[in-house]
Amino acid sequence: MGILFRNVRLVDPASGTDRITDLSVREGLVDDIGTELAQEGFEVIDGTGKILAPGLIDMHVHLREPGFEHKETILTGMRAAAAGGFTRIAAMPNTSPALDTPETLERVRDRASAGMVHVHPIGALSFGLEGREPTDLDALKNAGACAFSDDGMPVPDSAMMYRAMEWAHRLDRIVVDHCEDHSLSRGGVMNRGANSEKLGLPGIPKAAEDIMTARDILLAREYNLPVHICHVSTRTSVELIRQAKADGVRVTGEAAPHHFSLTDDALLNGNTNARVSPPLREEEDREAVLAGLADGTLDIIATDHAPHTAEEKNRPLDQAPNGMVGLETAVGLVFTRLIQTGVMGLLEAIGAMTWKPAQIFGLPGGRIAKGESADLVLIDPELIWKVDPTEFHSKGSNSPFIGMTLKGRPIMTVIGGRKAMENNNVFF
């Protein structure tokens, strides 16, 4: 039996569509789009007041497997993704062993076949993410790498970064960089500023991010190569990317929901769930990230989903690991912080989570069209809900948003025409 969404608000940024209509799904594909479609042979879903969008795409997820299955597994990460409305996710390579050989990438793809969410591994740029010996990007691409990165670690050697960008471009892939100058950030716990001084903790200066962002932009400019900047968190980095784009440099950037929602005030009570890398910054930086999303300087929204165990996060602030979960709160934060406040329009915000990442990374999906795979998310924009970690499908509960009330939530995820999630019940 197929699925018929009746009287739904269809939002497809790829085609600029935003209208009330019906949409039918049959045999894994979008069967028809129009008004008053025939109901026979379909499960009818009343979409009145609901938004039907392309399945969301998250290009920055830490699935932890192999090596850290006590934090997350590929299967639990996929379940969290489906619960959050994501139908495609990219797995970062900082596992153990790192995703630096074809065998490790193939293992991820094999494990992902047990679930429904499309998982795209990102291959490591250097063996062990040590920034010394480059990996075989050809072999990693052939094993399924959708991009290349040492995320979690920067690439300190500029010559190596340039060679990686050039090599990846020849393979029709893109380098994704974690911009951090370790000589400035090493030993830091949180953003360097009034709050770090108040807590007596070593701070991470904004320049640690800005210097590497500028380095990557200069390489992209010098050699006319594309580069993607991860989790932009500072005002200066946003300004650098904005100016570079105006100058025709092939740079793209992403924003994480925690960076446009929170500041380093969230750490004042010692909440280790708010410790992340790059750190939460100051209000001027949060506002700059919002402005970067609003004007398209920052192209996509990515969660940087990074689960840890409760034991790890229960350590003192200066000993707890960086990272927070994000797959299951992303839509609520986007609707609450961006759409309902008027920072972004609905088409633009959904586009930053669907069509734009598909374009930048050369992935299928990210659009709704007759005859194409039915990867869809149904969102209730009026649903008011409280973030409760006992409802998470991720192994991690390390969210700084616990107890927060949000408005807007996915209520159904469809992948290949099959329900993957309905009302937070995941079916794989």
Cα–Cα distance measured from residue 303 to residue 328, given in angstroms and rounded to the nearest whole number: 9
Return the active site residues.
304
Tell me how crowded residue 275 is: count the other CB atoms within 10 A of its CB.
26
- When mean pLDDT is compared across 16-25, 31-40, 73-82, the lowest value belongs to 31-40
Instruction: Please determine, for residue 290, whether its predicted confidence score (pLDDT) is greater than 90.
Output: yes
Cis peptide before 321 (omega within 30 of 0): no
Beta-strand (E) ranges in 27-76? 29-34, 42-46, 51-54, 56-61
Query: What single-letter DSSP state applies at residue 134?
Result: B
Structure confidence at residue 36 (pLDDT): 87
Cα–Cα distance measured from residue 377 to residue 42, given in angstroms and rounded to the nearest whole number: 18
Compute φ and ψ for 125, nearest 5 degrees. Answer: -80, -35
8-26 pLDDT per residue, tens: 999 999 999 999 999 999 9
User: Across-strand partners of 156?
Assistant: none
Structure confidence at residue 310 (pLDDT): 97
Domains of the chain: 2-52+371-426 (2.30.40.10), 56-361 (3.20.20.140)
| For the chain, percent of residues with pLDDT exceeding 90 | 99
Question: How many alpha carbons lie under 13 Å from residue 221 in its C-beta half-sphere?
Answer: 15
Beta-strand (E) ranges in 122-186? 123-124, 148-149, 175-177
Q: What is the CA radius of gyration of the chain?
A: 21
43-69 pLDDT per residue, tens: 999 999 999 999 999 999 999 999 999
156-212 pLDDT per residue, tens: 999 999 999 999 999 999 999 999 999 999 999 999 999 999 999 999 999 999 999
Mean pLDDT of 133-146: 98
Sequence-ordered alpha helix ranges (H) in 113-147 = 137-142
Cα–Cα distance measured from residue 61 to residue 298, given in angstroms and rounded to the nearest whole number: 18
Retrieve residue 65's tokens: 């497997």
Instruction: Please determine, for residue 1, whether its predicted confidence score (pLDDT) is greater than 90.
Output: no
Retrieve residue 41's tokens: 């042979």
Q: What is the residue type of 388? A: D
Mean pLDDT of 296-316: 98
